Amino acid sequence: MKTIKSFGIALLLLLVSTTVSAQCTFRNTAFKSGEFLTYNLYYNWKFVWVKAGNASMSIVQTTRHGKPAYRGSLVTRGNKRVDDIFVLRDTLLCYSGTDLAPMYFRKGAHEGKRYTVDEVFYSYSGGRCHLKQHRQQHDGKHVWKNATYDDCVFDMMNIFLRARSFNPANWKKGYTVKFPIADGKNRTPAQIKFDGKVTIKADNGVKYRCLRLAYMEYENRKYKRIVDFYVTDD
């Protein structure tokens, strides 16, 4: 009887420990290993759009700590035209399970005259999401933090991979997807807002019908628009 009882308790703990991890998974319908994308970046200056630089992103299937994973990398480079306003040199790296549960995130950012590094290490046990956060500040100081949450937490790269598989078929203008976002030091409420469908003329001169999406973070008691991006509705 004790053996059966012990087995039952162990099974219950196993089920609980996989709850959050299972909730943090998502079905990938958008990308495959070997994908490589390039983007042009624009800066909005007093209602004028100025090309600010470019970005390149790649996704490959690999392993992390012996588990199947996707590795995503994003490199952004500003151009000399806007360097006098804002220097942008970012390198982002993430690992997610093939079920899109976040595993790791790193951002090396040279923005303006500062260089910082943010890292987030994810683990799941006891029905909770555990984060180990690390920031290397611009003065070289290292700050570490451990935190545990009952809900799923994401970073800007892992949420981007997940967002590509969202199904917007029933979305109406103003619809939002809310989630907490983490960096090397903080956890911040964030959301992706659907701003309707628009026709965009791309750099190649072709017009596309697109979903207009805004990534927003909560700051000073309100959501602040960080970046707009457009995704074709097909």
pLDDT in the model for residue 234: 72
Mean pLDDT over 18-38 rounds to 82
Angle at 192 (CA atoms; ends 187, 194), nearest 5 degrees: 165
Tokens 């806007």, residue located = 82
pLDDT in the model for residue 81: 65
Q: How many domains is the chain built from? A: 1
Residue 19 has pLDDT above 50, yes or no: no
Asked if 207 and 216 touch (Cβ cutoff 8 Å), the reply is no
Tokens 């070997």, residue located = 34
Question: d(Cα 83, Cα 108) in Å, to the nearest integer?
Answer: 18
User: What tens digit of pLDDT does each residue of 123-141 get?
Assistant: 999 989 999 999 999 999 9
> For 108, how many CA atoms within 13 A lie in the half-sphere containing its CB?
8
Question: d(Cα 183, Cα 111) in Å, to the nearest integer?
Answer: 16
pLDDT in the model for residue 231: 85
Asked if 72 and 59 touch (Cβ cutoff 8 Å), the reply is yes
Question: d(Cα 79, Cα 87) in Å, to the nearest integer?
Answer: 8
Question: d(Cα 202, Cα 212) in Å, to the nearest integer?
Answer: 14
Angle at 50 (CA atoms; ends 197, 88), nearest 5 degrees: 105
- pLDDT category of residue 78 using cuts at 50, 70 and 90: confident
Mean pLDDT over 104-123 rounds to 91
Residue 216 has pLDDT above 50, yes or no: yes
Domain enclosing residue 163, as ranges:
2-232
pTM confidence score: 0.83
Mean pLDDT over 40-69 rounds to 86
